[in-house]
Amino acid sequence: MARAKKLTYGAVNITMHPHSPEKYVELFRMARKNASNVNLRGDSFATLSYFYPYKKGQVISEPFEGEILKYTDIDVNGDW
Protein backbone atom coordinates (compact mmCIF):
# COMPACT_ATOMS: atom_id res chain seq x y z
CA MET A 1 0.00 0.00 0.00
CA ALA A 2 1.40 3.41 -0.98
CA ARG A 3 2.03 6.07 1.62
CA ALA A 4 -0.18 9.12 1.62
CA LYS A 5 1.71 12.25 0.60
CA LYS A 6 2.10 14.84 3.32
CA LEU A 7 2.82 18.54 2.96
CA THR A 8 3.14 20.67 6.07
CA TYR A 9 2.66 24.43 6.17
CA GLY A 10 3.15 26.84 9.02
CA ALA A 11 2.72 30.50 9.73
CA VAL A 12 4.50 33.08 11.85
CA ASN A 13 2.52 35.87 13.48
CA ILE A 14 4.77 38.81 14.35
CA THR A 15 3.53 42.06 15.86
CA MET A 16 5.64 45.22 16.04
CA HIS A 17 5.01 48.75 17.19
CA PRO A 18 4.55 51.02 15.34
CA HIS A 19 2.51 48.96 12.88
CA SER A 20 3.72 49.94 9.45
CA PRO A 21 4.29 47.75 6.39
CA GLU A 22 7.73 49.30 5.96
CA LYS A 23 8.87 48.17 9.43
CA TYR A 24 7.81 44.56 8.83
CA VAL A 25 9.51 44.43 5.43
CA GLU A 26 12.65 45.98 6.95
CA LEU A 27 12.63 43.35 9.74
CA PHE A 28 12.52 40.42 7.32
CA ARG A 29 15.05 41.97 4.95
CA MET A 30 17.46 42.41 7.87
CA ALA A 31 16.84 38.81 8.96
CA ARG A 32 17.56 37.58 5.44
CA LYS A 33 20.68 39.74 5.14
CA ASN A 34 21.94 38.45 8.48
CA ALA A 35 21.32 34.89 7.24
CA SER A 36 22.35 33.36 10.53
CA ASN A 37 21.14 29.97 11.67
CA VAL A 38 18.93 30.21 14.75
CA ASN A 39 19.09 27.46 17.35
CA LEU A 40 15.53 26.43 18.16
CA ARG A 41 16.52 23.80 20.72
CA GLY A 42 19.10 21.05 20.93
CA ASP A 43 20.27 20.22 17.42
CA SER A 44 17.27 21.86 15.67
CA PHE A 45 18.01 25.05 13.73
CA ALA A 46 16.14 27.41 11.40
CA THR A 47 17.10 30.00 8.82
CA LEU A 48 15.24 32.42 6.53
CA SER A 49 15.83 30.98 3.08
CA TYR A 50 14.34 33.79 1.00
CA PHE A 51 12.12 36.85 1.29
CA TYR A 52 10.76 38.57 -1.82
CA PRO A 53 7.75 40.56 -3.04
CA TYR A 54 4.93 38.28 -4.16
CA LYS A 55 4.69 40.11 -7.50
CA LYS A 56 7.30 42.12 -9.38
CA GLY A 57 6.81 45.87 -9.19
CA GLN A 58 4.41 45.77 -6.26
CA VAL A 59 4.13 48.41 -3.56
CA ILE A 60 5.53 47.69 -0.10
CA SER A 61 2.07 47.26 1.47
CA GLU A 62 1.25 44.29 -0.78
CA PRO A 63 2.09 40.68 0.22
CA PHE A 64 5.61 39.30 0.40
CA GLU A 65 6.58 35.66 0.47
CA GLY A 66 9.40 33.82 2.13
CA GLU A 67 10.56 30.49 3.43
CA ILE A 68 11.86 29.48 6.83
CA LEU A 69 13.83 26.25 6.73
CA LYS A 70 14.00 24.06 9.82
CA TYR A 71 16.70 21.41 9.94
CA THR A 72 18.65 19.11 12.22
CA ASP A 73 22.38 19.76 12.54
CA ILE A 74 23.96 16.31 12.51
CA ASP A 75 27.52 15.98 13.76
CA VAL A 76 28.94 13.45 11.29
CA ASN A 77 32.06 13.10 13.45
CA GLY A 78 30.06 12.49 16.63
CA ASP A 79 29.34 9.18 18.37
CA TRP A 80 26.94 7.01 16.39
Residue 40's pLDDT is what?
92
Could you tell me which residues come within 8 angstroms of residue 55 by beta carbon, excluding any fewer than 6 positions away? Answer: 62
Say if CB 31 and CB 48 are below 8 A apart. Answer: yes
12 pLDDT tier (thresholds 50, 70, 90): confident
**DSSP result, 8-60:** ---------SS--HHHHHHHHHHHHHH-PPEEEETTEEEEEEEEEESSTT--T
8 pLDDT tier (thresholds 50, 70, 90): confident
Could you tell me which residues come within 8 angstroms of residue 57 by beta carbon, excluding any fewer than 6 positions away? Answer: none
Which residues are bridge partners to 44 per DSSP? 41, 72
Residue 59's pLDDT is what?
86
Whether the pLDDT of residue 56 is over 80: the answer is: yes
In the predicted model, what is the mean pLDDT of residues 17-43?
88
